[in-house]
Chains A and B, each alone.
Chain A
Amino acid sequence: MSLSSLWRAATQHRLFWPVAALIVLLLINVPFTPGFFEIHLKNGHLYGSLVSIVLFGSPLILVSIGMTLVIATGGIDLSVGAVVAISGALACLVVSKQADQNSVAGVLLSFGLALAAALVCGAWNGLLVARLGIQPIIATLILMVAGRGVAQLITGGQIITVNSDSYSLIGGGYWLTLPFSLFVVALVVVLSMVLTRRTALGLLVEAVGGNAEASRLAGIRSRRIKIMAYVFCGLCAGVAGLMISSNVSAADGNNAGLWIELDAILAVVIGGTSLTGGRFHLGGTIVGALIIQTLTTTIYTIGVPTQTNLVFKAVVVIIVCLLQSAAFREKAFGALTKRRNPARKDPGASVDAAPQLEVSP
């Protein structure tokens, strides 16, 4: 195997570019923060830039995982930010009403209620999309708008603060020297991997997103699959909401999870899952979410004014989307692609696809 073919094999691995981008981003930090990769043990807790990237990136990773499944079915969920707010608000409300805010039972109850609310939100989106056949963007727009209102209704328009060590564990606490949220993320990641790859859910989701009509004719009950994807996405957003509110020990119906749907979609796209549905890559999504978090951190550390963060993200979105666009590749690297596979030029125009004239009205 020549060096160039080795290079090609490596670059063609779907995780290559995301991971390379992540590494480059991390390396950029080194000249500015010499001890960037160092991890210290202080008071039995691990500290370091890498740890905080994971810690602060946890909610985004969670939301992105749920979003990945929804996008894989060919849908999208704009309401995750609102669900984050609802879940955080409800949990904080329940905890703040307890006589003993530290009571584990009370905190668990708050978790349960918050997740139940998130589940209902997900099921609502799923029903609108799968049962009523409303376009996903539009269907989830409803909850995106109304959900923030509901969250503020729960908090009464105030920021509810809680004072509970048990509650702050999930988002800000440490366990076995590691941030507790790391365990939660790991648990959700493992759970979603098991759910999609140890059962047939992943295959069915990819089939529905890859070719909805073929899936129907193969006997897949695509409605059920879609509803499950939205419910799972809602639950992920719910857990992320708990984490965010627990991290600051407060629930803010207005600002919790603001823009997180956009970051999550971005993470999914960077991770190599196509917005048109089909094949999904949970590993890629996690890397994508880490890239976004690292980008934020990097902007802080290298002293670029933090306000350019959003402009950066916009540029990244556009570059990633342009690279995913066949039309762009054709125009930009037209000569190259054409030579390699001439079939590309006229997609779907092969003999057996073109003369499909029969119609069943």
Chain B
Amino acid sequence: MSVISRGGPSPHGYRLLQDRRLPVLVTASLFVVMFGFGAFRYQAYGFLDAQVFMNLFIDNGYLLVAAVGATFVILTGGIDLSVGSVIGFTTMLTAWLVEKQGLPLLVVAPIALAVGAFGGYLMGYVIHHFEIQPFIVTLAGLFFFRGLCLVISKESISISDPAVDRLAQTHVPLPGGSFLSIAAVVSLVVLAAAFYVLHYTRFGRRVYAIGGSEQSALLMGLPVAGTKIAVYTVSGFCSALAGLLFTLYIQSGDPLHAVGLELDAIASVVVGGTLLTGGSGYVIGTLCGVLVLGLIKSLIQFEGTLSSWWTKIATGVLLFAFILIQRTMTARRRG
């Protein structure tokens, strides 16, 4: 037994360079550095106010929920391009049902969530059973839901329902005088739930197993079909929930809401250290990714002279950097 009893994990400092948590740490430190930079530079403008930090959650809660859904899909090695459209559609559907049909939000919300989840289920079904690339199927989903938005109405529908308004304005007070919105709280609950599901349920572990090797998962006798379809259903559900949060945030439905948001969601996931090839990553990383992207937006706002498009460029640069990191990590792991 000599070789094996000696042979712990590979000798080349596995824990340091190949630890799957490394990218999350990189992103988290990036966040800290950027935040520190902001705090130093915009001291006079109250950057260090706790509310500035809380606003990151308030302003990006819907993105966090969508990105968590996308994390499930990407962990299996798939991709979901329909995120933005489902969000847009949910805002439209909600606004239409509440405003034009006079239904209470309490009835509308479950309907919207069910529609999103069912859309995700359908896409997952087609992807798995007809062996069509997820990219194409969810692209069709992107068209479809954006189209449905326009079918509901070409015009934006603003929501004046007092219940919605009350919900949107509710502040959840935090110690120290800062507060969160309901949407931000919901997004954090979703994050916690996703963490639990991914790490403490068999379903969650299957998600990782499929991302590691679908072939192996199949030969190990795991229910691959069900898991893959479920993952797209989760993503559809999360997108719809993100849509509801976005509706609260903006208090209107608009066929052009959240156009291209899938890119932000995917970027957050990647910057958060999840491998696009699947099998490695954490929802906590996704949170870091969302916070970094959100912070870029805030910094650019604080700077004042910088224009909003720098957000996109910075996102692209970050994406590139993290994809390169991923690439070298996977290359080393294989070698």
Instruction: Give the B-binding residues of A (Cβ under 8 A).
Output: 76, 132-135, 137-139, 141-153, 156-157, 253, 258, 262, 265, 269, 275, 305-315, 317-318, 321-322, 324-328, 331
Q: List 15 A-B contacts (CB under 8 A).
A: A132-B327, A137-B79, A145-B312, A146-B316, A149-B314, A156-B307, A253-B309, A265-B139, A309-B150, A311-B144, A317-B143, A322-B126, A324-B132, A325-B131, A327-B130
* Count of CB-CB pairs between chains A and B under 8 Å: 132
B131 x A326 contact (CB < 8 A): yes
Contacts of B104 in A (CB 8 A): none
Q: With A149-B311, A262-B139 known to touch, is A310 a contact of B132 (CB < 8 Å)?
A: no
- Residue of B140, B266, B308 with most chain A CB atoms under a 10 A cut-off: B140
Quick check: A331 and B129 within 8 Å, CB to CB? Answer: yes
Complex Cα spacing A135 to B74, Å: 14
- Complex Cα spacing A156 to B309, Å: 9
Given contacts A146-B315, A317-B136, list 20 more A-B pairs with CB under 8 A. Answer: A132-B327, A134-B323, A138-B323, A143-B316, A146-B312, A146-B320, A147-B316, A149-B310, A149-B315, A149-B316, A152-B307, A152-B312, A258-B259, A262-B143, A305-B150, A305-B151, A307-B149, A310-B144, A326-B131, A327-B130
Say whether A144 contacts B131, CB under 8 Å.
no
Residue contact A328 to B310, C-beta cutoff 8 Å: no
Given contacts A157-B309, A327-B129, contact A311 B143 (CB under 8 A): yes
The SS class assigned to the B binding surface is helix
Per-position 1/0 for B122-136, Cβ under 8 A of A: 000010011111011
- B147 near A314 (CB under 8 angstroms)? yes
B319 contacts A318, C-beta separation under 8 Å:
no
Within 8 A of A (CB), among B296-324: 307-317, 319-320, 323-324
B277 touches A (CB below 8 Å): yes
B205 CB within 8 Å of chain A: no
- Least CB distance, A277 to chain B, in whole angstroms: 12
Report A-chain residues with C-beta under 8 Å of the C-beta of B309.
Answer: 148-153, 157, 253
Known: A142-B319, A327-B129. A149 touches B147 (CB 8 A): no
Measured between C-beta atoms, what is the minimum distance from B151 to chain A in Å?
A: 5
Complex formed: what's the CA distance from A39 to B310 in Å? 47
| A311 CA / B152 CA spacing, docked (Å) | 12
Asked if residues A310 and B307 are in contact (CB atoms below 8 Å), the reply is: no
- Interfacial chain A residues near B277, Cβ < 8 Å: 135
B215 to chain A, nearest CB (A): 14
Main secondary structure of the interface of A (DSSP, over half): helix
> B313 contacts which of A141, A150, A315, A318 (Cβ < 8 Å)?
A150
Who on chain A is nearest to B133 by CB? Answer: A275
9 interchain residue pairs of minimum CB distance: A146-B316, A149-B312, A307-B150, A310-B147, A311-B147, A152-B309, A314-B144, A314-B143, A149-B313
Does B148 count as interface, using CB distance less than 8 angstroms? Answer: yes
Interface assignment of B183: CB less than 8 Å from any CB of chain A: no
Are A322 and B132 in contact, CB atoms less than 8 angstroms apart? yes
